A and B are shown apart, each in its own frame.
Chain A
Protein backbone atom coordinates (compact mmCIF):
# COMPACT_ATOMS: atom_id res chain seq x y z
CA UNK A 1 0.00 0.00 0.00
CA UNK A 2 3.05 2.27 -0.03
CA UNK A 3 2.32 3.45 -3.58
CA UNK A 4 -1.18 4.60 -2.55
CA UNK A 5 0.27 6.40 0.46
CA UNK A 6 2.76 8.08 -1.88
CA UNK A 7 -0.08 9.20 -4.19
CA UNK A 8 -1.90 10.77 -1.25
CA UNK A 9 1.35 12.45 -0.19
CA UNK A 10 1.65 13.97 -3.67
CA UNK A 11 -1.75 15.60 -3.30
CA UNK A 12 -0.79 16.84 0.17
CA UNK A 13 -3.09 14.45 2.00
CA UNK A 14 -0.57 12.78 4.29
CA UNK A 15 -3.32 12.59 6.90
CA UNK A 16 -5.05 9.81 4.91
CA UNK A 17 -3.70 6.45 6.12
CA UNK A 18 -4.07 2.78 5.05
CA UNK A 19 -6.08 1.93 8.18
CA UNK A 20 -8.90 4.30 7.25
CA UNK A 21 -12.08 3.11 5.55
CA UNK A 22 -15.13 4.87 4.14
CA UNK A 23 -12.83 7.57 2.81
CA UNK A 24 -15.36 9.11 0.43
CA UNK A 25 -18.64 8.26 2.16
CA UNK A 26 -17.49 9.70 5.48
CA UNK A 27 -16.12 12.84 3.83
CA UNK A 28 -12.41 12.26 4.59
CA UNK A 29 -11.75 12.86 0.89
CA UNK A 30 -13.94 14.58 -1.68
CA UNK A 31 -14.25 14.80 -5.46
CA UNK A 32 -11.48 17.38 -5.69
CA UNK A 33 -9.08 15.02 -3.87
CA UNK A 34 -10.16 12.22 -6.19
CA UNK A 35 -9.47 14.24 -9.32
CA UNK A 36 -6.05 15.25 -7.96
CA UNK A 37 -5.40 11.60 -7.12
CA UNK A 38 -6.46 10.52 -10.61
CA UNK A 39 -4.08 13.08 -12.16
CA UNK A 40 -1.23 11.63 -10.08
CA UNK A 41 -2.18 8.08 -11.06
CA UNK A 42 -2.14 9.09 -14.73
CA UNK A 43 1.29 10.67 -14.37
CA UNK A 44 2.71 7.73 -12.41
CA UNK A 45 1.42 5.08 -14.83
CA UNK A 46 1.76 7.22 -17.98
CA UNK A 47 -1.74 6.25 -19.04
CA UNK A 48 -5.11 8.03 -18.86
CA UNK A 49 -7.51 6.56 -16.34
CA UNK A 50 -10.75 5.77 -18.10
CA UNK A 51 -13.76 7.61 -16.65
CA UNK A 52 -15.52 4.27 -16.02
CA UNK A 53 -13.13 3.61 -13.11
CA UNK A 54 -13.96 6.87 -11.35
CA UNK A 55 -16.73 5.45 -9.18
CA UNK A 56 -17.39 6.17 -5.52
CA UNK A 57 -16.84 2.54 -4.43
CA UNK A 58 -13.31 2.57 -5.89
CA UNK A 59 -12.19 5.33 -3.55
CA UNK A 60 -13.31 4.12 -0.15
CA UNK A 61 -10.03 2.60 1.05
CA UNK A 62 -6.39 2.09 0.09
CA UNK A 63 -7.30 -1.46 -0.86
CA UNK A 64 -10.11 -0.46 -3.24
CA UNK A 65 -7.92 2.23 -4.85
CA UNK A 66 -5.12 -0.31 -5.38
CA UNK A 67 -7.54 -2.82 -6.86
CA UNK A 68 -8.99 -0.18 -9.18
CA UNK A 69 -5.50 0.88 -10.40
CA UNK A 70 -4.52 -2.75 -11.06
CA UNK A 71 -7.67 -3.33 -13.12
CA UNK A 72 -7.45 -0.02 -14.96
CA UNK A 73 -3.82 -0.40 -15.93
CA UNK A 74 -4.18 -3.90 -17.30
CA UNK A 75 -7.24 -2.92 -19.34
Chain B
Protein backbone atom coordinates (compact mmCIF):
# COMPACT_ATOMS: atom_id res chain seq x y z
CA UNK B 1 0.00 0.00 0.00
CA UNK B 2 3.04 2.30 0.01
CA UNK B 3 2.10 3.62 -3.44
CA UNK B 4 -1.26 4.64 -2.00
CA UNK B 5 0.23 7.08 0.53
CA UNK B 6 2.39 8.54 -2.19
CA UNK B 7 -0.62 8.74 -4.51
CA UNK B 8 -2.72 10.62 -1.92
CA UNK B 9 -0.03 13.30 -1.70
CA UNK B 10 0.14 13.52 -5.50
CA UNK B 11 -3.67 13.68 -5.72
CA UNK B 12 -3.67 16.97 -3.83
CA UNK B 13 -1.66 18.68 -6.56
CA UNK B 14 -3.85 17.14 -9.27
CA UNK B 15 -3.20 15.24 -12.51
CA UNK B 16 -3.56 16.27 -16.12
CA UNK B 17 -5.58 13.18 -17.05
CA UNK B 18 -7.99 11.08 -15.06
CA UNK B 19 -11.16 9.10 -15.61
CA UNK B 20 -11.95 8.78 -11.90
CA UNK B 21 -15.15 10.57 -10.99
CA UNK B 22 -15.80 9.38 -7.45
CA UNK B 23 -14.23 10.82 -4.32
CA UNK B 24 -10.86 9.94 -2.86
CA UNK B 25 -12.41 8.34 0.23
CA UNK B 26 -14.13 5.71 -1.94
CA UNK B 27 -10.92 5.00 -3.87
CA UNK B 28 -8.91 4.52 -0.68
CA UNK B 29 -11.56 2.22 0.83
CA UNK B 30 -11.63 0.11 -2.35
CA UNK B 31 -7.85 -0.26 -2.16
CA UNK B 32 -7.95 -1.39 1.46
CA UNK B 33 -10.78 -3.81 0.61
CA UNK B 34 -8.51 -5.18 -2.14
CA UNK B 35 -11.11 -4.33 -4.79
CA UNK B 36 -8.45 -2.24 -6.54
CA UNK B 37 -4.75 -2.82 -7.04
CA UNK B 38 -2.42 0.11 -7.64
CA UNK B 39 0.44 0.39 -10.10
CA UNK B 40 2.85 3.29 -10.52
CA UNK B 41 4.45 4.17 -13.85
CA UNK B 42 6.64 7.28 -13.70
CA UNK B 43 4.37 9.96 -12.28
CA UNK B 44 1.24 8.04 -13.30
CA UNK B 45 -0.92 5.91 -11.03
CA UNK B 46 -3.18 3.21 -12.42
CA UNK B 47 -5.79 1.39 -10.37
CA UNK B 48 -6.97 -1.98 -11.67
CA UNK B 49 -10.35 -3.44 -10.81
CA UNK B 50 -11.22 -7.10 -11.42
CA UNK B 51 -15.04 -7.04 -11.44
CA UNK B 52 -15.51 -5.85 -14.09
CA UNK B 53 -12.10 -5.42 -15.74
CA UNK B 54 -11.86 -1.66 -15.51
CA UNK B 55 -8.95 0.62 -14.78
CA UNK B 56 -8.80 4.12 -13.37
CA UNK B 57 -5.92 6.38 -14.32
CA UNK B 58 -4.37 9.46 -12.79
CA UNK B 59 -1.74 10.50 -15.27
CA UNK B 60 0.46 13.34 -16.39
CA UNK B 61 1.79 11.47 -19.41
CA UNK B 62 1.00 8.43 -21.53
CA UNK B 63 0.89 5.13 -19.72
CA UNK B 64 1.08 1.49 -20.69
CA UNK B 65 -1.99 -0.40 -19.46
CA UNK B 66 -2.39 -4.14 -19.10
CA UNK B 67 -4.14 -5.79 -22.01
CA UNK B 68 -7.73 -6.90 -21.56
CA UNK B 69 -8.70 -3.96 -19.37
CA UNK B 70 -11.35 -1.39 -20.13
CA UNK B 71 -11.66 2.28 -19.35
CA UNK B 72 -14.86 4.16 -18.80
CA UNK B 73 -15.00 7.91 -19.07
CA UNK B 74 -17.97 9.79 -17.72
CA UNK B 75 -18.53 13.43 -18.54
CA UNK B 76 -20.92 16.05 -19.78
CA UNK B 77 -18.43 18.36 -21.43
CA UNK B 78 -17.61 17.49 -25.04
CA UNK B 79 -14.18 19.13 -24.87
CA UNK B 80 -13.29 17.01 -21.82
CA UNK B 81 -14.53 13.83 -23.51
CA UNK B 82 -12.67 14.57 -26.75
CA UNK B 83 -9.41 15.31 -24.90
CA UNK B 84 -9.68 12.05 -22.92
CA UNK B 85 -10.34 10.19 -26.15
CA UNK B 86 -7.23 11.61 -27.84
CA UNK B 87 -5.16 10.82 -24.75
CA UNK B 88 -6.46 7.26 -24.51
CA UNK B 89 -5.84 6.61 -28.20
CA UNK B 90 -2.21 7.66 -27.68
CA UNK B 91 -2.09 5.11 -24.83
CA UNK B 92 -3.25 2.40 -27.23
CA UNK B 93 -6.94 2.27 -26.30
CA UNK B 94 -9.70 1.80 -28.85
CA UNK B 95 -13.15 3.31 -28.45
CA UNK B 96 -15.71 0.57 -27.83
CA UNK B 97 -19.12 2.02 -27.07
CA UNK B 98 -20.85 5.22 -26.11
CA UNK B 99 -23.82 5.50 -23.79
CA UNK B 100 -25.91 8.57 -23.10
CA UNK B 101 -27.74 9.37 -19.92
CA UNK B 102 -31.52 9.73 -20.05
CA UNK B 103 -33.50 11.10 -17.18
CA UNK B 104 -37.07 11.68 -16.17
CA UNK B 105 -38.37 13.89 -13.41
CA UNK B 106 -40.74 12.20 -10.99
CA UNK B 107 -42.95 15.28 -10.96
CA UNK B 108 -46.35 14.61 -12.50
CA UNK B 109 -45.66 10.88 -12.82
CA UNK B 110 -48.78 8.81 -12.24
CA UNK B 111 -47.49 5.79 -10.34
CA UNK B 112 -49.38 2.75 -11.49
CA UNK B 113 -50.81 0.60 -8.74
CA UNK B 114 -49.50 -2.91 -9.03
CA UNK B 115 -51.97 -5.70 -8.59
CA UNK B 116 -50.75 -8.16 -6.03
CA UNK B 117 -47.14 -8.84 -5.25
CA UNK B 118 -44.53 -8.83 -7.93
CA UNK B 119 -43.40 -12.43 -8.52
CA UNK B 120 -39.87 -11.96 -7.32
CA UNK B 121 -38.42 -14.24 -4.68
CA UNK B 122 -40.41 -17.43 -4.60
CA UNK B 123 -37.27 -19.52 -4.77
CA UNK B 124 -33.93 -19.81 -3.06
CA UNK B 125 -32.22 -16.43 -3.29
CA UNK B 126 -28.74 -17.85 -4.04
CA UNK B 127 -30.09 -19.90 -6.89
CA UNK B 128 -32.08 -16.93 -8.19
CA UNK B 129 -29.01 -14.66 -8.04
CA UNK B 130 -27.05 -17.22 -10.05
CA UNK B 131 -29.81 -17.44 -12.68
CA UNK B 132 -30.14 -13.66 -12.75
CA UNK B 133 -26.39 -13.25 -13.29
CA UNK B 134 -26.45 -15.75 -16.16
CA UNK B 135 -29.46 -14.01 -17.69
CA UNK B 136 -27.98 -10.49 -17.47
CA UNK B 137 -24.62 -11.73 -18.80
CA UNK B 138 -26.36 -12.50 -22.09
CA UNK B 139 -27.09 -8.82 -22.57
CA UNK B 140 -24.31 -7.02 -20.68
CA UNK B 141 -20.70 -8.11 -20.93
CA UNK B 142 -19.35 -9.09 -17.49
CA UNK B 143 -15.95 -7.95 -18.77
CA UNK B 144 -16.82 -4.27 -18.67
CA UNK B 145 -20.55 -3.60 -18.34
CA UNK B 146 -22.09 -5.91 -15.76
CA UNK B 147 -20.71 -4.46 -12.57
CA UNK B 148 -22.68 -6.75 -10.24
CA UNK B 149 -21.44 -10.25 -9.51
CA UNK B 150 -23.68 -13.03 -8.13
CA UNK B 151 -23.16 -11.92 -4.55
CA UNK B 152 -24.06 -8.32 -5.33
CA UNK B 153 -27.17 -9.49 -7.20
CA UNK B 154 -28.18 -11.60 -4.22
CA UNK B 155 -27.97 -8.47 -2.06
CA UNK B 156 -29.99 -6.54 -4.64
CA UNK B 157 -32.71 -9.20 -4.61
CA UNK B 158 -32.77 -9.20 -0.82
CA UNK B 159 -33.11 -5.39 -0.77
CA UNK B 160 -35.86 -5.43 -3.41
CA UNK B 161 -33.60 -3.57 -5.80
CA UNK B 162 -33.80 -6.34 -8.40
CA UNK B 163 -36.92 -7.78 -9.98
CA UNK B 164 -37.28 -10.88 -12.08
CA UNK B 165 -40.07 -11.92 -14.44
CA UNK B 166 -40.59 -15.64 -14.91
CA UNK B 167 -42.43 -17.64 -17.53
CA UNK B 168 -42.61 -21.43 -17.37
CA UNK B 169 -39.80 -21.47 -14.81
CA UNK B 170 -37.41 -19.45 -16.97
CA UNK B 171 -36.32 -15.85 -16.49
CA UNK B 172 -37.98 -13.76 -19.15
CA UNK B 173 -37.03 -10.34 -17.94
CA UNK B 174 -35.15 -8.60 -15.16
CA UNK B 175 -34.38 -5.20 -13.78
CA UNK B 176 -31.76 -4.02 -11.29
CA UNK B 177 -31.62 -0.53 -9.87
CA UNK B 178 -29.79 1.54 -7.28
CA UNK B 179 -30.35 4.86 -5.59
CA UNK B 180 -27.89 7.70 -5.43
CA UNK B 181 -28.52 11.04 -3.75
CA UNK B 182 -31.97 12.09 -4.99
CA UNK B 183 -32.14 9.76 -8.00
CA UNK B 184 -33.16 6.20 -8.75
CA UNK B 185 -30.82 4.71 -11.31
CA UNK B 186 -31.92 1.92 -13.58
CA UNK B 187 -28.69 -0.06 -13.74
CA UNK B 188 -29.84 -2.93 -15.95
CA UNK B 189 -33.06 -3.95 -17.67
CA UNK B 190 -33.36 -6.86 -20.08
CA UNK B 191 -36.18 -8.85 -21.60
CA UNK B 192 -35.79 -12.15 -23.41
CA UNK B 193 -35.64 -11.45 -27.13
CA UNK B 194 -37.98 -14.37 -27.89
CA UNK B 195 -40.65 -13.21 -25.51
CA UNK B 196 -43.96 -12.69 -27.25
CA UNK B 197 -45.30 -10.51 -24.43
CA UNK B 198 -44.26 -7.04 -25.53
CA UNK B 199 -45.42 -5.48 -22.27
CA UNK B 200 -42.78 -7.14 -20.09
CA UNK B 201 -40.33 -4.23 -20.36
CA UNK B 202 -43.14 -1.83 -19.50
CA UNK B 203 -44.14 -3.92 -16.48
CA UNK B 204 -40.56 -3.92 -15.23
CA UNK B 205 -40.21 -0.18 -15.81
CA UNK B 206 -43.37 0.52 -13.86
CA UNK B 207 -42.17 -1.64 -10.99
CA UNK B 208 -39.01 0.48 -10.98
CA UNK B 209 -41.06 3.71 -10.95
CA UNK B 210 -43.32 2.44 -8.19
CA UNK B 211 -40.41 1.28 -6.03
CA UNK B 212 -38.85 4.73 -6.24
CA UNK B 213 -41.77 7.09 -5.78
CA UNK B 214 -39.74 9.25 -3.41
CA UNK B 215 -36.88 9.92 -5.84
CA UNK B 216 -36.66 13.25 -7.65
CA UNK B 217 -35.33 11.73 -10.85
CA UNK B 218 -35.18 8.42 -12.68
CA UNK B 219 -31.95 7.94 -14.60
CA UNK B 220 -30.35 5.39 -16.90
CA UNK B 221 -27.67 5.02 -19.56
CA UNK B 222 -28.56 3.77 -23.00
CA UNK B 223 -26.18 2.70 -25.76
CA UNK B 224 -26.36 5.28 -28.53
CA UNK B 225 -26.99 2.70 -31.25
CA UNK B 226 -29.75 0.90 -29.34
CA UNK B 227 -32.53 2.68 -31.20
CA UNK B 228 -35.27 0.35 -29.99
CA UNK B 229 -34.43 1.04 -26.35
CA UNK B 230 -34.10 4.79 -26.95
CA UNK B 231 -37.55 4.83 -28.54
CA UNK B 232 -38.96 2.90 -25.57
CA UNK B 233 -37.50 5.31 -23.02
CA UNK B 234 -38.55 8.42 -24.98
CA UNK B 235 -42.08 7.01 -25.15
CA UNK B 236 -42.00 6.61 -21.38
CA UNK B 237 -41.04 10.19 -20.66
CA UNK B 238 -37.24 10.03 -20.48
CA UNK B 239 -35.15 12.77 -22.06
CA UNK B 240 -31.47 12.87 -22.93
CA UNK B 241 -29.20 14.77 -20.57
CA UNK B 242 -25.72 16.03 -21.45
CA UNK B 243 -23.93 13.22 -19.62
CA UNK B 244 -22.13 10.60 -21.68
CA UNK B 245 -20.36 7.41 -20.77
CA UNK B 246 -17.66 6.15 -23.10
CA UNK B 247 -15.90 2.80 -22.98
CA UNK B 248 -12.44 2.05 -24.34
CA UNK B 249 -10.53 -1.20 -24.57
CA UNK B 250 -6.84 -2.05 -24.46
CA UNK B 251 -5.68 -5.11 -26.31
Contacts and interface: CB of A to CB of B under 8 A. Distances in A.
Interface in B21-44: 21-26, 28-29
B21 A32 contact: yes
Interface string A14-37: 000000000011010011101110
Interface residues of B, number: 26
Contacts of A9: none
Contacts of A35: 21-23
B181 A39 contact: no
A1 to B, nearest CB: 22
A49 B181 contact: no
A25 B217 CA distance: 8
A38 B27 CA distance: 13
Nearest to A46: B12
Contacts of B217: 27
By Cβ-Cβ distance, the 6 closest A-B pairs, closest first, are A48-B25, A48-B24, A38-B23, A56-B182, A56-B181, A46-B12
Interface of A: 12, 24-25, 27, 30-32, 34-36, 38-39, 42-43, 46, 48-51, 54-56, 59
21 contacts: A24-B216, A27-B105, A30-B183, A30-B243, A31-B183, A32-B75, A32-B76, A34-B181, A35-B21, A38-B23, A39-B21, A39-B24, A42-B11, A43-B12, A46-B12, A48-B23, A48-B24, A49-B24, A51-B26, A55-B181, A59-B181
